Copies of this chain bind each other. A is one copy, B any other.
Amino acid sequence: MTKLRVHNLAVSIDGFATGEGQALETPFGHAGGRLMEWFFPTSTFVSMSGHDSEAVGSGTRGVDDAFAAATNRGIGAEIMGRRKFGPQLGAWEDESWRGWWGEEPPFHSPVVVLTHHTRPDLAVGETTFLFRDLPPRDALALATDLAAGQDVRLGGGPTVVRDFLAADLVDHLHIVVVPIVLGRGVRLWDGLEGLEERFDLEVTASPSGVVHYVFTRR
């Protein structure tokens, strides 16, 4: 049975999953890369980003990498919010924006982009983006079809994850708490009082200073 999974969702110790002031040059706002610094040294990231061409097998292989490596395993489709796809707001002024990821995005699968402003499907490399105005349950039904028996990844941002958690649609939630106080931005946990009652939890501290929380729906 298809599961809905969240991986590598980093939040600051004060609960912000992205900083303030997202824009083309600052996709994470004033947080910059600080929420993902645990991720960049991992073997998984080094391979994904193509920096590995001259150093096969480089990157760390500790607990951070073990979690990072689970991200793509058995995934057949992704659901993401429009703010993950791009910095624009409102109606599309033109359709030249093709995402942050260049001509071979790292998804290699259908991606349902949730937006009130639909546009035609967009194929970039092995990834097809489908822009849809759907509530969480319907978006999951569509992505489940597209995943063809594999799991669906809920790719963020935090507002989208919060909506799906509120609707109790998330089976696997991997949160990475980063020991920085961001102070402002988008909060992950708002409106989710008592969330822990619906999940089993395993907690692992990494030598890098981050803590991995794995919530599994009961």
Interface set of A (CB-CB < 8 Å, partner B):
13-15, 177, 179-184, 187-196, 201, 203-205, 209-211, 213
Contacts and interface: CB of A to CB of B under 8 A. Distances in A.
A180 B13 CA distance: 13
B203 A204 contact: no
Nearest to A13: B189
B179 A203 contact: yes
Nearest to A184: B193
Contact of A211 (B190, B192, B205): B205
B205 A181 contact: no
Contacts of A203: 179, 205, 209-211
Interface centre among A13, A183, A193, A210, by most chain B C-beta atoms within 10 angstroms, is A13
Nearest to A194: B181
19 contacts: A13-B213, A14-B15, A14-B187, A14-B192, A177-B211, A179-B203, A179-B213, A181-B189, A181-B194, A181-B195, A182-B193, A183-B189, A183-B190, A183-B191, A184-B193, A201-B209, A203-B209, A203-B211, A204-B205
Nearest to A210: B203
A183 B177 contact: no
A91 to B, nearest CB: 34
A179 B201 contact: yes
Nearest to A213: B179
